Every structure is written in C-alpha cells, then in structure tokens.
Amino acid sequence: MKTTVILVGGLLLLSLAVWAQDDAEYQSWMKSNNANVASLRMNLTAKSGDAAAADAKKLQDTFTQVHAYWQKKNVSDATQFAMNAENGFKEVGELAAAGKFDEASATLMKTQANCGGCHMAHREKATDGSWKIK
C-alpha cells in the first residue's frame, strides 16, 4: 500500500512538472508574437515580400505549437482559434510572397481577431498586472 501511494504521488508530481513546463513554453510563444507581428506589419508596409513571408512563417509555426498545446489540454475553442491563426498566417505569407500586400494586411487583421477571441476566453489579469492562463 505504501509503495502504491509513493508511486502515485511521484507520478502526480512528475505530471505537474510537465504541465508547468508546457505553460512556461506557451507563455514564451505568446511573448514572441508581439515582436513577430510588429515586424510583419513593418515588412508589409515596406512591401518587403520575402521578409513579410518569413515573419508570417514564424507566426504560423508558433501557432502550430499553440494548436498542439490546446489540443493536448482538450480545449476545443482555443484549439480552433489556434488553427485559424495558423492557417491565417500561412495565407498572409502566401499573399506577401505574391506581392499582394493590401490583401495580406487585410488577412492579418482578420487573423489577429482569433488572438483576441482566445485571449478573452482563456487569459485573465492577475493582481500584479501580469497575465495568466485560465
């Protein structure tokens, strides 16, 4: 009996450590998005197709990871938001690479609406001003 309790307790602690690591990675991905979106906007404005496409690819790759994160947690609306963002950034990159900067900018705005929807549903402001995942 004592061995079973120790084994179950150890597994619980291990799963909590893995969960916390996932959350830390997730927060790192989210923090990288601001700089990547700012660079993407700047490159779309400057009509730098290759640079904008590279920025969009970074964002697409990030949202592939975000999609997997929420899928693992079995949160269907967040999974959908992430998948929509992933696909949207892919489209932005394709449009930028094709020199369709106005369409790419419009698609970027539409894509970012997914970010806002997920933030409203799945993050909350802590008393210290930081944000945490609901």
Residue 46 backbone dihedrals phi, psi, to 5 degrees: -80, -5
Which residues make Cβ contacts (< 8 Å) with residue 120, sequence separation at least 6? Answer: none
User: Picking from 15-19, 58-62, 72-76, 87-91, which range would have the lowest pLDDT averaged per residue?
Assistant: 15-19
pTM: 0.79
pLDDT bucket at 67, cuts 50 / 70 / 90:
very high
Q: What is the mean pLDDT of residues 76-97?
A: 97
Give the pLDDT of residue 13: 40
pLDDT in tens, 26-57: 889 889 999 999 999 999 999 999 999 999 99
Which amino acid is it at 131?
Answer: W
Q: Is the pLDDT of residue 115 over 60?
A: yes
Q: What is the mean pLDDT of the chain?
A: 86
Q: Is the pLDDT of residue 19 over 60?
A: no
Which token pair is 127?
A: 């008393």
Q: Is the pLDDT of residue 6 over 70?
A: no
For 14, 15, 20, 66, 73, the CA distances from 6, given in Å and listed in that order, are: 12, 14, 21, 34, 26
pLDDT bucket at 2, cuts 50 / 70 / 90:
low
CB 115 within 8 A of CB 85: yes
Give the pLDDT of residue 21: 58
Q: Please, what are the domains in the chain?
A: 21-133 (1.20.120)
Q: What is the mean pLDDT of residues 100-113?
A: 97
Which residues make Cβ contacts (< 8 Å) with residue 56, sequence separation at least 6? Answer: 40, 89, 90, 92, 93, 96, 104
CB 93 within 8 A of CB 60: yes
